[in-house]
Structure 1
Amino acid sequence: MITLFTWPTPNGQKIQIMLEELSERYDARPVNILRGEQFEPAFLKISPNNKIPAITDSDVVRDGAPLSVFETGAILIYLAEKSGRFLPTDGSQRAKTLEWLLFQCSSLGPMLGQATHFRRYAKQDVAYAVERYTNEATRLYGVIERQLEHTAWIAGDDYGIADMATFPWICRHRRQGQDLERFPRTKAWLGRVSSRPAVSRGMDLFKDVAKQAPLDDEAHQKLFGNQGVLQ
């Protein structure tokens, strides 16, 4: 069985959506990143980069312990391959899906994350950073908009892991300084993904728990301080 270690952030919600889409039983455990639980030794054993999400799979044992997987792209590929769903087996379409998944992991997510940070969470107003990352977010939205001119879903004609990876970031467009009226195809795609019951369930997982963990000074330090940096 899959055990998911997560928190309701965009990266956590990617895997939450995938597991709900698979409609198989899994165990979900919150890792309160606002209180530093991502730095606890037990979690670091399965996620050495001290980031959520991570999974373990009790069906696969390595060195006496369940297989663990960290990094969202790797987790999505692992779950897709294990289930035989949401990742094409055809060579060209598989490559296209992986292309857009890695676009999300390497470009879209990091840049939208920076835009959100400097617009919403930075303690100092850094005008250059706000402009830099908001503009880059706009450019990346344009990349998606052009792709959706030719396809119904991010990577082609079928819904898949590229959509699951992208959705939790795009649904936070206002935090990134983006107006979806400028991107009508992206807005329509967002509506199609939102209408899926599994997506709603995945997005809601641990949301109530997170509401009880305020973003106070301690949380800000845990998230954005130098904890975990070798001294």
Structure 2
Amino acid sequence: MGNTRFSVVAGALAAMSLFCIGSAQAMPLSYSTTYNGAINVTTGGGANTVLPVPGSDFYGNTFSLPTDPNFPAASSYGFYDDFIFTIPVGAGSNSVTSSISIPGSLEISNLQARLFALPGVYNPGSTVGAPCPGGCLAVWGTTVVAANVTYTVLNPIVLGPGSYVLQIRGDATGASGGSYSGVLNLTAIPVPAAVWLFGSALGGLGLLRRRRIAG
């Protein structure tokens, strides 16, 4: 059952990336905010990556130690990560963020993502436990746990030209921390949400069928 659930998740990831036939690149981490038991600590230089449209852009982070889930304004979360990007033209977008756990060693819980426009003056630490500056374009997604895979989906949304913040939060709970990775898909022609879901389902069913044939 665990392998079957993992295949469905992997199929969804693969199918969603197929909708963006374009360049692929890594999107660097702009900021990471954690709590040291007394204050919020933010690291990172605020990288703002210009992304091509269409394209599939990969992001992620690794924590070598457990994070402290005691933000005064956001208990149960140990980190807030920001990926800042700019698109020169309007685009349809969606993302999937996932973490594969090794129980007791590498684990991330409460994984969520949201999206908002980059404000003129941005203080990443001020967003911990707070509403999106200027309002969210996509609110925190639902955390889904299937076997040893935790994932969250940012639903399709149409974006105009400009700069945005993809924010990921969660808690690294493994003895050796934890890691997550994701893909942000951008397409020049907005695709209806029903098509994304249909494509994801087809990808998952295709993997399951191949697995059964192989078995």
TM exceeds 0.5? no
* Greater fraction of residues in helix: 1
TM-score (norm 2): 0.30
TM-score (norm 1): 0.28
* Greater fraction of residues in strand: 2
